[in-house]
Structure 1
């Protein structure tokens, strides 16, 4: 619909036609105060608006998890702005290639009215369809239904987001044009355009990184550090010598951080474990060191090893190294399940490496988690190797989310894990974890990306639920389990979603993913991005919430000789319920 115009038409006071050089509609003189919105609309490109409408409709389609209406509005607003930009870019390229189309005034008016008619029909239709699709996704995720009336607000907020993005883009373009005009006084036009673009991009990056990014992250880090001094409700200082933070520990209670205090104060008692196993059980050992225990992650790891030595952890049958999320969180269900399956004859070593919650660590610091995971595992592994081979405990590793990413940082891949551990449980691994990505890419032909089969399941197995551990082939030792859900956006989010269709969207979907989900360039990326915000606020077994199946996972990995299915059900009843990182 991009077109050139008749010169006489563009000089008419009532002109409402596209400009020949920009493709935008020329602004007419205002008639009244209410004319401002109309004037703004005339600056918009018809091709851009057509693509924006299409992206609006696409953005309403289902994705992995149910979205709050305001997250839907943000995803829609970004998609609309993206579609508009693609449309304008396409029209600009066509003009630069020398193609122009001349339309009569009547044809142009028909085009605009047709676009308006399409919008009047498509927008309310897809708002209704979007609210309906979200209800289906909620049912699949076993989430509570939400009022569909909130979708009336999606249009207003999404347009606000789209207009704000467009305003920023126009401001950048305006700055580039002014710098180009200045540069034309001194250098040829191509050089002036390139130089102005580089200057604007550099300034924009410096402003975002130096002022916005560093300022926000700095403020968040200070706020998180202050919050780390608090203690969760009903969490009290342990008295058992087997726990860090106790009177016998070299790690003071106040130094462990909020999540560290919760970790060492929790877990099953010997009596609770005995009620399941029918045998006397020792007190499970939990050791931990806070972020400020030493100047470096290596120093913090050394303090954790000292706590292991103090508590006699190397004499237990199972020693687990747990890599935490950003501010030191360990999934209590995963930790407690290991202690039940091990009959209490276990020790778990962990440490804090940051004050930032996972969401901010995900954005601001992907370097420290693998450094911390490597430092802790190397320190513990060296202490285990220093003992006689016949008296060493089983050395296992685990981590969830950012902790899974960090924990795998100690290893080069699956073979390295198998060579240096007696088992591993990686939960909700982010897509950017290189070890997970390589193992997934090397899966057996024909196995799906959401649940890969590796070497027939000889040592490494992927599971969304307990039943997925059962494969026809024998399961050798050591055993590695990747526990992930088909509907978890943390696992499936990637920048590749912008322009590449992933295998998990080419294959039959998981049981909790809407079969109507389709990959759409740009749109799917923003949908899955918004899905991550509340990915842990769904019932266990979906999204990024991992619950009672932890018992089955540890029973499969440790494979204790006298463990029964009835005991698994007993523990599942005890550790049930939802717990997410605070």
Structure 2
């Protein structure tokens, strides 16, 4: 008989060590049964950072300060930096875990040296990129004609970024802890690998359900309630029109209280006859404005029919111009856009529009884009049908207008570039979205060598411009469709493939407004452009998603009144501001 030495780990409790036979005592022939111990407790939430994750997070954090299309406020930059650092940490931690699984863990000495190098380099890198980021933002604001921001915003930016990163890291580790807990339960039935797979699946499904069912659903519900309250109000200075030529006024078929907030602003926002006469230098007429709100009729088709009957009541088809406006999500139409056309024609116009939602464009776009498509099809179709029955020699010019989400509805109404060109006497589209099918077709089929931000499309009466001033020097036949798309408009240039693909507008020659310091980085540029969307309207006209008086040049390119000159366009742009 021989002796067997059984050592007990010092981490085992004393009571368990006492149950193991001492090597000094003779062992019996009966086998020794060692107790089955529970797996050691794992620290997940309070575990130290991954070395690979921390290193890549530092790289992503620094790159988040590189410029994008528009300047960012300090708190927005902080959120961008925190999110991109979290993306870097997740990527690095996953890559590090994969490497350790393939080749095994690195030695303690190597890991310690790597941490020391990272700790020494990180403050220097962050300081350099904070300084560069401040300079880039200052230069970008100057490029766009905006005032510089105080330098002390850097400290607040860092604070917001650390808070954002810490919050995302905590959420990720809590989810990981939940996965580990589920796996311990499933280990009683399944093998270890299957138990962890099942735990991961359960937590992923529950997390997605909580995100979609609680956060997203409540976000849309809250936005819906707030938008409904907003829609029932009336803007400051907006009053019931006294004119019979406005919806909601005397003898109108559309009651004032059914127009919605934006509809009331639309019908009440026309310039006065005195203002029109002073600009035109000749007697002007009172412009017509027709609008139908969400509660003006039960269905889209009935609202469109109501608009046409209101046009007949006001004598809209006797004017020189009839313009159909597809509004944004809330039913809003930029008053500078409508006024520009009325000033050009000295009031001899009839402008019509119809509300299809009271949600902001972002929620309308992400929720159900079919609403704007159906509304544009119903209104444009009803007006065109009535207009087409008039004698061709005497009927008014039919113009179409869409901005942002409204351009998507217009394009979906016609379906192809050729039908859009033939659909009216002129169409003006501002800031088309990435989802616009006709815009994508035209851009993809552009003349070789022309840039994506200002494409040439041969053989069709379509003109693109990233600067409205370009439209003043057109030669050849007059275009029937004009796209105005600012080179720094994130609504135009945002797309999902920014996550993994360098966009064409950053390849080769760039538009004048796009800073040469901007570069594409996987994932990072996507979040930067996404955050640019938040304040895309808070920039001067001609940049971002702010078009306003630029529409003067757009209207002048497709449908100028007799005798209209470039000087008239400059005068009108100065008047509108």
Normalising by structure 1, what TM-score? 0.88
Query: In 2, distance between residues paired with 1:568 and 1:122?
Result: 50
Matches within 5 A, 1:38-57: 40=46, 43-57=48-62
1:490, CA displacement in angstroms?
Answer: 1.4
CA contact (8 A) 2:472 2:557 kept: no
CA contact (8 A) 1:321 1:396 kept: yes
1:540, CA displacement in angstroms?
Answer: 0.9
Q: Is the aligned partner of 1:265 residue 2:255?
A: no
CA contact (8 A) 1:462 1:468 kept: no
Alignment match of 2:99 (pick from 81, 94, 104): 94
Alignment-derived partner of residue 114 in structure 2: 111
Alignment-derived partner of residue 557 in structure 1: 558
Farther-moved stretch of structure 1 (179-188 vs 490-499):
179-188
Find the residue that maps to 1:475 and give its secondary structure. coil
CA contact (8 A) 1:325 1:403 kept: yes
1:192, CA displacement in angstroms?
Answer: 4.4
Find the residue that maps to 2:232 and give its secondary structure. coil
1:108, CA displacement in angstroms?
Answer: 2.4
Per-residue CA distance 1:540-570 (angstroms, 9 max, x = gap): 1111111322111101110333212232233
Per-residue CA distance 1:510-530 (angstroms, 9 max, x = gap): 222211000011111111111
CA contact (8 A) 2:432 2:439 kept: yes
Farther-moved stretch of structure 1 (431-440 vs 116-125):
431-440
Alignment-derived partner of residue 377 in structure 1: 380
Runs of 4+ with deviation above 6 angstroms: none
Query: In 2, distance between residues paired with 1:466 and 1:393?
Result: 26
Q: Is the aligned partner of 1:250 residue 2:218?
A: no
Q: Is the aligned partner of 1:236 residue 2:242?
A: no
Find the residue that maps to 1:63 and give its secondary structure. coil
Alignment match of 2:174 (pick from 171, 176, 200): 171
Query: In 1, distance between residues paired with 2:450 and 2:405?
Result: 26
Alignment-derived partner of residue 14 in structure 1: none
Alignment-derived partner of residue 480 in structure 1: 481
Query: In 1, distance between residues paired with 2:570 and 2:473?
Result: 21
Per-residue CA distance 1:89-137 (angstroms, 9 max, x = gap): 21222234x222532x333221111010111211122112111111011
Per-residue CA distance 1:53-76 (angstroms, 9 max, x = gap): 000110001111111100000000
1:405, CA displacement in angstroms?
Answer: 2.2
Alignment-derived partner of residue 221 in structure 1: 224
Alignment-derived partner of residue 35 in structure 1: none
1:296, CA displacement in angstroms?
Answer: 2.5
Per-residue CA distance 1:41-64 (angstroms, 9 max, x = gap): x52100000000000110001111
Alignment-derived partner of residue 504 in structure 2: 503
Alignment match of 1:183 (pick from 181, 186, 202): 186
1:190, CA displacement in angstroms?
Answer: 5.6
Larger radius of gyration: 2
1:539, CA displacement in angstroms?
Answer: 1.1
Alignment-derived partner of residue 332 in structure 2: 329
Query: In 2, distance between residues paired with 1:186 and 1:305?
Result: 69
Alignment-derived partner of residue 494 in structure 2: 493
CA contact (8 A) 1:52 1:83 kept: yes
Alignment match of 2:151 (pick from 140, 144, 148): 148
Q: Is the aligned partner of 1:317 residue 2:308?
A: no
1:300, CA displacement in angstroms?
Answer: 2.1
Q: Is the aligned partner of 1:362 residue 2:369?
A: no
Change (3 A) 1:92 1:471: farther
Q: Is the aligned partner of 1:528 residue 2:529?
A: yes
Alignment-derived partner of residue 343 in structure 1: 346
Find the residue that maps to 1:288 and give its secondary structure. strand
Alignment-derived partner of residue 210 in structure 2: 207
Query: In 2, distance between residues paired with 1:194 and 1:372?
Result: 47
Find the residue that maps to 1:461 and give its secondary structure. strand
Find the residue that maps to 1:424 and give its secondary structure. strand
Per-residue CA distance 1:266-320 (angstroms, 9 max, x = gap): 1223333333334433221110011122233222222212211211112222211
1:79, CA displacement in angstroms?
Answer: 0.2
Query: In 1, distance between residues paired with 2:165 and 2:477?
Result: 52
CA contact (8 A) 2:246 2:267 kept: yes
Query: In 1, distance between residues paired with 2:277 and 2:532?
Result: 41
Farther-moved stretch of structure 1 (185-194 vs 54-63):
185-194
CA contact (8 A) 1:373 1:408 kept: no
Query: In 2, distance between residues paired with 1:184 and 1:169?
Result: 23
Find the residue that maps to 2:534 and give its secondary structure. coil
Alignment-derived partner of residue 17 in structure 2: none
Per-residue CA distance 1:147-176 (angstroms, 9 max, x = gap): 021111222211111121122222223333
Farther-moved stretch of structure 1 (440-449 vs 200-209):
200-209
CA contact (8 A) 2:427 2:558 kept: yes
Query: In 2, distance between residues paired with 1:173 and 1:459?
Result: 57
CA contact (8 A) 1:291 1:353 kept: yes
Per-residue CA distance 1:358-391 (angstroms, 9 max, x = gap): 2333333333222222221112122222333333
CA contact (8 A) 2:100 2:106 kept: no
Alignment-derived partner of residue 4 in structure 2: none
Alignment match of 1:434 (pick from 433, 437, 451): 437
Which stretches in structure 1 are left out of the alignment for 5+ residues?
A: 1-9, 12-25, 29-38, 577-582
Per-residue CA distance 1:465-495 (angstroms, 9 max, x = gap): 2332256751345x11111111111111111
Change (3 A) 1:131 1:355: same
Matches within 5 A, 1:16-35: none
Which stretches in structure 2 are left out of the alignment for 5+ residues?
A: 1-9, 12-41
Query: In 2, distance between residues paired with 1:195 and 1:386?
Result: 66
Query: In 2, distance between residues paired with 1:112 and 1:466?
Result: 54
Find the residue that maps to 1:537 and give its secondary structure. coil
Query: In 2, distance between residues paired with 1:472 and 1:297?
Result: 39
Find the residue that maps to 2:483 and give its secondary structure. strand
1:509, CA displacement in angstroms?
Answer: 2.4
Query: In 1, distance between residues paired with 2:331 and 2:548?
Result: 19
Alignment-derived partner of residue 24 in structure 2: none
Normalising by structure 2, what TM-score? 0.88
Alignment-derived partner of residue 286 in structure 1: 289
Alignment length (residue pairs): 538
Find the residue that maps to 2:482 and give its secondary structure. strand
